């Protein structure tokens, strides 16, 4: 589902070019769940941004569902994200001026799904917030906001789901609920999951774990097939 | 409804409900409402004032001619649906009771006057009341003075030329009587049909023919264009209300300029408010845009969503602004209904169109650049919160905004000079402020060192947010400058009007006072507790030569001119005065006043005396400094050399002279004197008694004229007060918008400071200090820039005397500090009361 080939990311700084990702190559199979773990600043969010087509590689190749992300412009990548990718973020990233239901409808509307409202209501019920559809994000607790975000991620039945520290802003109980919900929906829809976290416990729930250190993918879990540093 | 439109509509609806759009919406409402109310009101007021000044030429347009006006010209006007009236004026003699008097004879037809009215009174020198009729063929309506001079009463007959008329009314006033102290003979009004039988307009008599026109502006212009080619400068003069150079004309013109200025400033303020609000709006939408992009929305989808939103906001803002502006204007007009006769019946489309145009242009142009930035927000912002819009340069925004503001100013004012002056002063201010900001930053670096006090925290914050602060500082200073400009202009205009006619301004002139009567008259007036002014000697002279050039008859004066100002030439008859002292409201602009001149030290040719000439007459007659002017007085010849040029304020109600000679030139002549005095309303019945001992003296009543001018000035002043309030409100709203725009940033800072353990009182004080510093700097800069723009406006546009307003250099920084400090503290009060947890939660 995801294939990277020697991807490198360099950024310009006042002191010249800085390579923040060393050449990275790995593959994620369809339906697989992969955790990218690492300390803050290790480059895991940068990698996630590249994999999801939010950012562009400096060199190397990324294929997302066999589409060459590295050759696409912003518009093409946006279209690909809309069609195949779902997102969950640490800070929820809900549109504050839309209700919970409207936030969930948003990707459905953008990608032109039929009956977005009905679909949004169904998935809202699934995350247990059927009665909170008309509430605005600031009227919901952190756990509820993340559940809305999960519902928004799944409404388009994406092939790949990227989650960036999905429980990073939540307390233990809410974290647990959100984790359960995330994995349950993932299993139900057979989605490929790429999850960035520094929470080892959460990472262990994924089939594979990739570890980032200082821009390098230095360690991979025992049952991985091909990955290189 | 398409997806983008429905999404835009939903976003708009929710954001409007939640108050997210309130500032930007408010800014648009404000721009439309203030532009509409100001321009609607000023248009109505101008209409009322123009109507009023039209009364002074008795029509919308007037054609004055020294030859009879061709009948076909009048028919041509009637064919264009214009109303036409006629008057023939000449000087003649009136006989009664064996006495005779030179009179100013006016023969009018039944349509006269087309604007204003003829006033007749029941008793001599009383204020008259309007009458719709004109004298019938054998009637004469006669000036109060003629009753005295000829010793006649109502019902008596007077002879004028070959005809006999029965005096049936005391003539108090005609609309276009004009105002000239000299050569003012008592007026007699008769019917135009009776003029031929009087036989006073034959060869040798100087006659002035006037045709009056009213009608639509289009028809009047069309008529003038058709007529223009046939008019001869020597013979004809075409007058419109705008040509009125009297005190009233000047007042109206100045008021119009002021309204224009105030409206322009309201537009600029509104644009700034919209720009500020749009910037904040865009910043608040960085996240939603990044989210939508992440979720797959294309840039074109996002563009459409936000353009729809701006359209919704603009439409709603324009609608609300129109309604509010109309109500506001209605309130102002009703409040003024006691003083200003402004008709509410007429609906003016122009202000509405201007307001809608302004609202749309402001909304689109000033939202556009922040929106362009918004479209460029990268989706990666969802992961990296520090990524904002990739705006290449702010220069583009400033250029676009600047051009848009200038375009609006010019489109609205159609006056390049006003637009350029305001715009350039604005630019100078921006430049000064950028320099000041850098200075502040450097200063802050020094002051901000050491342990944190509230003041140091404030400096540190100012320094840290250098760019934001410079933008904030500039907008505060611009707003304060614009407010100051309007305020000072208003004060100066009203003050100069008041100075022009202070309480106790002479309301009667006396001419023909003989040398022998001089002392007696002063003693008599003093005994009666009436203060008479200085007596000016006057002698009629024939203006014979300029250098060696003998003056031709073309320069002959048109006696019936409304104001001495408009004469195309001085003519051969001139009133000469002589004095060693320069009169009030006269200013030497070239050469030297002859007060210190003596024949012994003279550098002039023998037998030549100094003369001071009014500057505009000199220009019109192409007289240069040093020219030799020769006057014939009786059989004597007086040779003078122009040693100084003066400007004269013709708006003062005092005797003013074109030629002032050195007294040494006039020793052999016996002058008559002119003086003026003030008689309060309640003592008017004493007037006849007061002047009875001086039967030969001619009394000239200017009270009615003064009151007319005063009432117009009061009305216009009252209107200006209201406009000032409107502009002040607009300015305050910009300040609030600007403070609001920095709220998100402040919220973050407060949360951090609170978390780090800063005391609430420290933070509160530091916020207040910050606003005090910014306010006082902005105030000082505003005072500086204000001085420049006022100087240019007053000297170049308003034709007023200029002065430095030192007091504002102190007042402006203080006011800036207080106003901005209070506004800042008020806007931040909620933020300062939030606890740390709430602040931190709001940051997420």
Condensed to tens digits (0 to 9), the pLDDT of residues A68-107 reads 999 999 889 999 998 899 988 888 889 888 899 999 999 9
Of the pLDDT bands very low, low, confident and very high (cuts 50, 70, 90), residue B554 is very low
Closest to B618 measured CA to CA, from B585, B641, B602: B641
Distance, CA of B807 to CA of B803 (rounded, Å): 11
Of the pLDDT bands very low, low, confident and very high (cuts 50, 70, 90), residue B555 is very low
Distance, CA of B284 to CA of B668 (rounded, Å): 88
**pLDDT for position B209:** 92
> How many angstroms separate the Cα of B602 from the Cα of each of B323, B607, B643, B646?
73, 10, 11, 21
- pLDDT above 80: residue B77: yes
pLDDT in tens, A166-202: 888 778 888 888 888 888 888 888 889 999 988 888 8
Closest to B168 measured CA to CA, from B157, B154, B183: B154
**Which chain A positions have a beta carbon within 8 Å of B298's beta carbon?**
75, 78-79
Q: Is B382 in contact with A87 (Cβ distance < 8 A)?
A: yes
Of the pLDDT bands very low, low, confident and very high (cuts 50, 70, 90), residue B621 is confident
**Which chain A positions have a beta carbon within 8 Å of B291's beta carbon?**
93-95, 106
pLDDT in tens, A103-156: 999 998 888 888 889 999 998 998 888 899 999 888 898 889 988 998 999 898
Q: Round the average pLDDT of chain B to a whole number and report it.
A: 78
Of the pLDDT bands very low, low, confident and very high (cuts 50, 70, 90), residue B564 is very low
**pLDDT for position B570:** 46
Q: Is B292 in contact with A110 (Cβ distance < 8 A)?
A: yes
Tell me the nearest-neighbour CA distance from A19 into chain B, angstroms: 17
Of the pLDDT bands very low, low, confident and very high (cuts 50, 70, 90), residue B657 is confident
Burial annotation B255-267 (CB, 10 A radius, 16+ → b, else e): bbbbbbbbbbbbb
Q: Is B296 in contact with A87 (Cβ distance < 8 A)?
A: no
pLDDT in tens, B295-313: 988 888 888 888 888 888 8
Cross-chain CB nearest to A48 (options B3, B296, B383): B383
Q: Is A169 in contact with B844 (Cβ distance < 8 A)?
A: yes
Of the pLDDT bands very low, low, confident and very high (cuts 50, 70, 90), residue A228 is very low
State yes or no: cis peptide before B82, omega within 30 of 0: no
**Bigger pLDDT: B497 or B817?**
B817
> Looking at the DSSP assignment, which residues form a beta bridge with residue A35?
A195, A209
Q: Is B294 in contact with A75 (Cβ distance < 8 A)?
A: no
The string of DSSP letters for A153-192 reads HHTT--SEEEEESTTTTS-HHHHHHHHHHHHHHHHHHT-E
Q: Would you say how long chain B is, in residues?
A: 844
**pLDDT for position B833:** 73
Distance, CA of A31 to CA of A158 (rounded, Å): 11
**pLDDT for position B672:** 87
**pLDDT for position B107:** 94
Q: Is B379 in contact with A54 (Cβ distance < 8 A)?
A: yes
Cross-chain CB nearest to B383 (options A75, A164, A169): A164
**Which chain B positions have a beta carbon within 8 Å of A97's beta carbon?**
11, 14-15, 18, 20, 288
Residue B529 main-chain phi, psi, to 5 deg: 55, 35
Indicate the range of A119-123, B716-720, B804-808 predicted with least confidence. B716-720
Contacts 24+ apart (CB under 8 A), A136-142: A136/A96, A136/A97, A136/A98, A136/A99, A136/A100, A136/B14, A136/B18, A137/A92, A137/A94, A137/A95, A137/A96, A137/A100, A137/A103, A138/A96, A140/A100, A141/A174, A142/A92, A142/A169, A142/A170, A142/A171, A142/A174
- pLDDT above 90: residue B612: yes
**Which chain A positions have a beta carbon within 8 Å of B299's beta carbon?**
74-75, 78
Indicate the range of B17-31, B235-249, B280-294, B693-707 predicted with least confidence. B235-249
pTM (2 d.p.): 0.66
Distance, CA of B443 to CA of B456 (rounded, Å): 11
**Which chain B positions have a beta carbon within 8 Å of A45's beta carbon?**
383-384
Indicate the range of B112-116, B275-279, B316-320, B773-777 predicted with least confidence. B275-279
**pLDDT for position B461:** 66
Q: Is A110 in contact with B3 (Cβ distance < 8 A)?
A: yes
**pLDDT for position A119:** 92
Distance, CA of A197 to CA of A33 (rounded, Å): 13
ipTM topping 0.95: no
Q: Is B379 in contact with A99 (Cβ distance < 8 A)?
A: no
Instruction: Yes or no: say if B649 and B246 are a contact pair by the CB < 8 Å rule.
Output: no
DSSP annotation of B532: B
Tell me the nearest-neighbour CA distance from B838 into chain A, angstroms: 12
**pLDDT for position A63:** 94
Distance, CA of B231 to CA of B125 (rounded, Å): 39
Of the pLDDT bands very low, low, confident and very high (cuts 50, 70, 90), residue B740 is confident
**pLDDT for position A225:** 44
pLDDT in tens, B195-225: 998 888 877 677 889 999 998 888 888 999 9
Backbone Cα Rg of chain B = 34
Closest to B706 measured CA to CA, from B533, B509, B506: B506
**pLDDT for position B446:** 65
**pLDDT for position B170:** 92
**pLDDT for position B650:** 66
Q: Is B7 in contact with A109 (Cβ distance < 8 A)?
A: yes
- pLDDT above 60: residue B705: yes
Q: What is the pLDDT averaged over residues B812-832?
A: 81
Domain ranges of chain B: 1-56+245-414, 57-243, 431-503+702-844, 508-701
**Which chain A positions have a beta carbon within 8 Å of B379's beta carbon?**
54, 74, 78, 81
Cross-chain CB nearest to A83 (options B287, B296, B378): B296
The size of the A-B interface in CB pairs under 8 A is 92
Q: Is B383 in contact with A99 (Cβ distance < 8 A)?
A: no
Distance, CA of A133 to CA of B552 (rounded, Å): 96
**pLDDT for position B337:** 63
Nearest chain A residue to B844, by CA: A91
Instruction: Yes or no: say if B172 and B126 are a contact pair by the CB < 8 Å rule.
Output: yes
A33-38 sheet: strands from edge to edge: A85-89, A160-164, A192-197, A33-38, A208-213, A216-220
Q: Is A97 in contact with B18 (Cβ distance < 8 A)?
A: yes
Q: Is A79 in contact with B384 (Cβ distance < 8 A)?
A: no
Of the pLDDT bands very low, low, confident and very high (cuts 50, 70, 90), residue B340 is low
Tell me the nearest-neighbour CA distance from B294 into chain A, angstroms: 7
Closest to B379 measured CA to CA, from B295, B282, B294: B294
- pLDDT above 60: residue B556: no
DSSP annotation of B480: H
- pLDDT above 80: residue B401: no
**pLDDT for position A72:** 92
Kindly state the tokens that stand for A183. 């994995």
> What percent of chain B is predicted at pLDDT more than 70?
81
**pLDDT for position B553:** 45
Indicate the range of B339-343, B438-442, B519-523, B686-690 predicted with least confidence. B339-343
Q: What is the pLDDT averaged over residues B17-24?
A: 70
| CATH 3.40.50.300 describes domain A30-57+71-221 | yes
């Amino acid at each position: 589902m995801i294939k990277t080939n020697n991807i490198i990311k360099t950024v310009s700084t006042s002191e010249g070019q800085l390579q923040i990702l060393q050449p990275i190559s790995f593959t994620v199979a369809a339906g697989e769940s992969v955790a990218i773990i690492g300390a803050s600043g290790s480059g895991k969010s940068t990698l996630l941004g590249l994999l999801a087509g939010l950012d562009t590689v400096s060199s190397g190749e990324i294929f997302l569902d066999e589409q060459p992300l590295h050759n696409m412009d912003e518009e093409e990548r946006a279209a690909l994200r809309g069609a195949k990718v779902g997102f969950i973020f640490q800070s929820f990233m809900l549109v504050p001026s839309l209700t919970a239901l409207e936030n969930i409808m948003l990707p459905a509307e953008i990608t032109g799904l039929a009956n977005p409202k009905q679909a949004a209501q169904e998935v809202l019920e699934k995350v247990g917030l059927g009665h909170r559809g008309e509430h605005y994000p600031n009227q919901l607790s952190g756990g509820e906001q993340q559940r809305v975000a999960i519902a928004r991620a799944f409404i388009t039945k994406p092939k790949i789901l990227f989650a960036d520290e999905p429980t990073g802003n939540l307390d233990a109980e809410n974290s647990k609920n959100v984790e359960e919900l995330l994995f349950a929906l993932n299993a139900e829809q057979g989605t490929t999951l790429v999850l960035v976290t520094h929470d080892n416990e959460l990472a262990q729930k994924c089939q594979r774990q990739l570890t980032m250190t200082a821009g390098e993918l230095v360690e991979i879990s025992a049952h991985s097939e091909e990955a290189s540093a | 409804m398409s997806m983008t439109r429905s999404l835009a509509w939903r976003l708009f609806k929710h954001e409007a409900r939640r108050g997210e759009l309130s500032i930007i919406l408010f800014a648009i409402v404000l721009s439309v409402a203030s532009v509409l109310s100001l321009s609607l009101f000023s248009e109505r007021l101008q209409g009322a004032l123009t109507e009023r000044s039209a009364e002074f030429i008795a029509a919308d347009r007037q054609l004055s001619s020294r030859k009879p006006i061709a009948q076909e010209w009048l028919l041509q006007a009637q064919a264009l649906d214009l109303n036409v009236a006629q008057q023939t004026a000449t000087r003649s003699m009136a006989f009664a009771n064996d006495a005779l008097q030179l009179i100013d004879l006016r023969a009018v037809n039944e349509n006269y006057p087309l604007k204003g009215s003829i006033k007749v009174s029941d008793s001599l020198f009383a204020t008259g009341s309007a009458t719709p009729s004109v004298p019938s063929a054998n009637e004469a309506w006669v000036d109060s003075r003629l009753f005295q001079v000829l010793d006649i009463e109502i019902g008596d007959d007077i002879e004028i030329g070959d005809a006999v008329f029965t005096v049936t009314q005391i003539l108090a006033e005609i609309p276009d009587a004009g105002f000239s102290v000299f050569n003012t003979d008592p007026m007699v009004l008769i019917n135009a049909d009776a003029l031929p039988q009087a036989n006073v307009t034959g060869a040798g008599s100087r006659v002035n023919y006037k045709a009056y026109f009213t009608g639509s502006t289009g028809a009047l212009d069309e008529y003038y264009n058709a007529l223009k080619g046939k008019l001869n400068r020597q013979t004809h003069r075409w007058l419109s209300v705008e040509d009125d150079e009297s005190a009233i004309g000047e007042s109206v013109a100045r008021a119009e300029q002021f309204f224009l200025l105030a409206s322009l400033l309201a537009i600029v303020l509104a644009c700034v408010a919209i720009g500020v609000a749009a910037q904040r709006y865009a910043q608040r939408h960085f996240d939603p845009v990044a989210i939508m992009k992440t979720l797959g929305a294309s840039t074109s989808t996002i563009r459409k969503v936000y353009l729809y939103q701006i359209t919704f906001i603009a439409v709603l803002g324009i609608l609300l602004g129109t309604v509010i502006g109309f109500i506001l204007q209605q309130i102002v007009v009703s409040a003024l209904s006691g003083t200003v006769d402004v008709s509410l019946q007429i609906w003016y489309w122009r202000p509405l169109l201007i307001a809608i145009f302004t609202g749309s242009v402001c909304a689109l142009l000033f939202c556009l650049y922040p929106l362009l930035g918004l479209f460029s927000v990268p989706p990666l912002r969802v992961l990296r919160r520090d990524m904002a819009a990739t705006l290449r340069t702010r220069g583009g925004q400033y250029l676009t905004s600047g051009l848009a503001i200038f375009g609006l100013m010019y489109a609205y004012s159609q006056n390049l000079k006003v637009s350029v002056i305001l715009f350039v002063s604005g630019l100078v201010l921006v430049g000064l402020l950028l320099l000041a900001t850098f200075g502040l930053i450097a200063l802050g670096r020094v002051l901000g060192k050491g342990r944190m006090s509230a003041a140091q925290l404030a400096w540190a914050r100012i320094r840290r947010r250098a760019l934001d602060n410079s933008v904030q500082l500039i907008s505060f200073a611009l707003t304060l400058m614009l407010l100051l400009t309007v305020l000072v202009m208003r004060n100066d205009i009203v003050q100069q009007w008041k100075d022009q006619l202070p309480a106790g301004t002479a309301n009667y002139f006396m001419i023909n006072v003989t040398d022998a009567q001089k002392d007696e008259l002063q003693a008599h007036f003093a005994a009666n507790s009436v203060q008479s002014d200085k007596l000016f000697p006057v002698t009629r002279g024939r203006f014979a030569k300029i250098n060696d050039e003998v003056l031709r008859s073309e320069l002959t004066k048109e006696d019936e001119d409304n104001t001495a100002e408009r004469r195309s030439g001085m003519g051969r008859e001139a009133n000469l005065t002589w004095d060693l002292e320069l009169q009030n409201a006269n200013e030497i602009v070239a050469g030297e006043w002859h007060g210190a001149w003596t024949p012994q030290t003279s550098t002039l040719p023998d037998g030549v005396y100094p003369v001071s000439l009014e500057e505009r007459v000199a220009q019109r007659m192409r007289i240069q400094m040093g020219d030799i002017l020769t006057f014939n007085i009786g059989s004597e010849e007086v040779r003078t050399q122009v040693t100084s040029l003066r400007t004269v304020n013709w708006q003062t109600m005092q005797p003013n002279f074109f030629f002032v000679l050195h007294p040494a030139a006039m020793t052999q002549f016996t002058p008559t004197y002119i003086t003026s005095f003030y008689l309060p309303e309640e003592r008017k019945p004493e007037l006849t008694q007061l002047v009875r001992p001086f039967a030969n003296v001619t009394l000239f009543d200017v009270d009615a004229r003064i009151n007319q001018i005063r009432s117009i000035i009061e009305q216009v002043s009252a209107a200006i007060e209201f406009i000032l309030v409107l502009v002040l409100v607009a300015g305050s709203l910009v300040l609030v918008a600007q403070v609001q725009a920095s709220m998100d940033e402040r919220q973050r800072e407060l949360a951090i400071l609170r978390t780090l353990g800063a005391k609430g009182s420290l933070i509160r004080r530091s916020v207040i200090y910050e606003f005090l510093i910014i306010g006082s700097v902005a105030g000082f800069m505003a005072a500086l820039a204000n001085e420049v723009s006022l100087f240019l406006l007053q000297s170049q546009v308003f034709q007023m005397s200029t002065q430095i307003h030192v007091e504002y250099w102190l007042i402006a920084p203080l006011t800036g500090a207080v106003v901005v400090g209070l506004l800042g503290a008020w806007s931040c009060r909620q933020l300062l009361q939030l606890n740390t947890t709430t602040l931190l939660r709001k940051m997420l």
